[in-house]
Amino acid sequence: MIEILEVKTQKDIKEFIDLPFKIYKGDKYWIPPLKNDEKKMFSPDTNPELEYCDTQFWLAKDNDKTVGRIITMINNKYNEKVNKAYSRFFKFECINEEVGEQLLLFAEKWAKDKGATHIHGPLGFSNLDNQGLLIEGYEYLPSIASTYNKIFYQNVFDKLNYQKENDWVEFILYPEQHIEDRVLKLNETIKKRYNLIVNSFKKSQELKPYIPQVLKVLNEAFADLPYVVPFDDKTGSYYIEKYFSLLNPNLVKIITNAEGEAVAFIVGLPSLSKAMQKANGNLTPWGIYHILRAIKHPKVVDLALTAVLPQLQRQGVAAVLITELQKELIRYGVREVETTGIFEINTQAIQTWKNFKHIQHKRRRCYVKEL
């Protein structure tokens, strides 16, 4: 008999974190997360989003063996923003369809008891978490900012009558190794028209003074996208700490205006997928070696974040960012770039990437169900 039990002890936390390492053992397309990062999720001392998210962590047990897991959550800030009573679920994993069904039915009851009218997911605490269920592109290695799951997970949602709410699509881009003069001239024209300065970096420490401004740009640029809650100082610091050490500063470009204020930025992240597989969740000296090597000598780059203030969108500023990043890609000899998830409804961003030679190789889905 399957029981759903709340995570309460350190042993429970370990089992919650370790379960996907068992489910995906030997799967060449799964990217193990760092276990220490996963542990931070459970405590308000290390996860400030627990202050406004009514959150509980659960294990599915069968004869004392852990066979599934799920997080149930009410993101109160998001519900206030959209004036709805939604519940989320996150970190959904199971060994078979029966366990998956029991987990989702349990999450639905939990949501009803909390007064929710709908349940949707997989959705994290914020839009910087790895969200959505992979439904296309199982034959491609994901980036560390994407997701991967067993194919049969889709069947669980279909059986329980979940519907599509939103899809993210992902692309592999094949950038040219030469930038045409007309593109460079156009970029100079755009920079002069709006009095813009492109800031480049050699050391990570040079980025730190820009962090508050970058968060401001991110909040304004993403304000109208689904599931987004603005970052405050605490939540911003949480994600900066999580990702800052993984940056190659050469792949970050920040555009400022005449007053020195950030108005746009792009973050390219060296692909760490294979390095993370070798680390297998642990920052041992061997794991650190592979991660640092991938950061310093990128062969594939993930486009982690691109943001432009609303008043400068559709003015060619995004094209300036991409061109400036492309100069670095050429210098490193990078011939393949992977985008993170872009909402299917974000046609402007999708058209930008379609200007490159590309393939659309992955699709992730957020499901929703009325309770």
Q: What confidence tens digit (pLDDT) does each residue in 184-209 have?
A: 999 999 999 999 999 999 999 999 99
Alpha-carbon dihedral of residues 267, 270, 272, 273, nearest 10 degrees? 90
pLDDT score of 239:
84
What is the band of 347 on the pLDDT scale with cuts at 50, 70, 90? confident
Q: With 90 as the cut, is the pLDDT of residue 127 above it? A: no
Average pLDDT score over residue span 123-136: 95
- Taking the C-alpha atoms of residue 144 and residue 150, their distance in angstroms, rounded to an integer, is 17
CB 63 within 8 A of CB 43: no
Percentage with pLDDT > 90 across the chain: 88
pLDDT score of 73:
98
What is the band of 327 on the pLDDT scale with cuts at 50, 70, 90? very high
What is the band of 269 on the pLDDT scale with cuts at 50, 70, 90? very high
Is the link from the previous residue into 212 a cis peptide, with omega within 30 of 0? no
Percentage with pLDDT > 70 across the chain: 100
Q: With 90 as the cut, is the pLDDT of residue 167 above it? A: yes
Average pLDDT score over residue span 237-245: 83
Determine which helix (DSSP H) or strand (DSSP E) holds 337, and give its type and residue range: strand 336-339
Average pLDDT score over residue span 21-37: 97
What is the band of 233 on the pLDDT scale with cuts at 50, 70, 90? confident
104: DSSP letter: H
Decide whether 2-168 matches 176-334 in CATH topology. Answer: yes
Q: With 90 as the cut, is the pLDDT of residue 307 above it? A: yes
pLDDT score of 287:
84
Average pLDDT score over residue span 217-232: 93
Report the chain's C-alpha Rg in angstroms.
Answer: 21
Burial of 318 (0-12, 13-18, 19+ CB in 10 A): buried
What is the band of 237 on the pLDDT scale with cuts at 50, 70, 90? confident
- Chain mean pLDDT for the chain: 95
User: CB count, 10 Å around CB of 160?
Assistant: 14
Greatest mean pLDDT among 96-100, 142-146, 288-292: 96-100
**What is the model's pTM?**
0.95
Torsion angles phi and psi, residue 300, rounded to 5? -130, 140
The domain 2-168 is placed in CATH, from the list 3.30.1360.120, 3.40.630.30, 3.10.290.10, 3.30.70.1150, at: 3.40.630.30
pLDDT score of 218:
94
Q: Does domain 176-334 bear CATH number 3.40.630.30?
A: yes
pLDDT score of 354:
79
CB 257 within 8 A of CB 281: no
pLDDT score of 250:
97
What is the band of 245 on the pLDDT scale with cuts at 50, 70, 90? confident
pLDDT score of 238:
82
Average pLDDT score over residue span 31-49: 94
pLDDT score of 241:
81
Strand-pair partners of 71: 57, 90
pLDDT score of 244:
85
> For 76, how many CA atoms within 13 A lie in the half-sphere containing its CB?
8
Torsion angles phi and psi, residue 154, rounded to 5? -60, -40
Q: With 90 as the cut, is the pLDDT of residue 362 above it? A: yes
Q: Where are the domains of the chain?
A: 2-168, 176-334
